[in-house]
Amino acid sequence: QAQLVESGGGLVQPGGSLRLSCAASGLAFDYYAIGWFRQAPGKEREGVSCIDRHDESTYYADSVKGRFAISRDNRKNTVYLQMNSLKPEDTATYFCAADARACSSTPNTYDYWGQGTQVTVSS
């Protein structure tokens, strides 16, 4: 049974950094694009970043370009999201998701989801 588990969230001051991890099990990890999404209270889930499965192309939402970096370690079945220069508007629950086709900003295309990790940016 496929499972994705996020970790690394927490409380951080504006301008600080966090690194989120998404550990996968029960699926052929190499064959999945992995995306990060976030959802703040009262808002829709939005795509943050994604790393493709073959050429490892990366994609970022405009709101996080230059501040966030996504990477994957296929030996560890893990994807990372390094988040720097965090802002209060980055506060949300962050989810990772796996797509057997390709990166997409549309949540409905993803096959598997984690339970989420909370990121709070506040002084």
Instruction: Tell me what the mean pLDDT of segment 17-33 comes to.
Output: 96
pLDDT single digits (tens) 76-98? 999 999 999 999 999 999 999 99
pLDDT at 56: 80
Query: With 80 as the cut, is the pLDDT of residue 55 above it?
Result: no
Instruction: Tell me what the mean pLDDT of segment 13-42 comes to.
Output: 96
Cβ proximity of 38 and 92 under 8 Å: yes
pLDDT at 86: 98
Nearest to 3 by CA among 78, 107, 91, 59: 78
pLDDT at 54: 76
Residues with Cβ within 8 Å of residue 40, at least 6 apart in sequence? 91, 92, 93
Task: Quote the Cα angle for 82-25-47, to 5°.
Answer: 40
Give the model's confidence band at 8: pLDDT under 50 very low, under 70 low, under 90 confident, else very high. very high
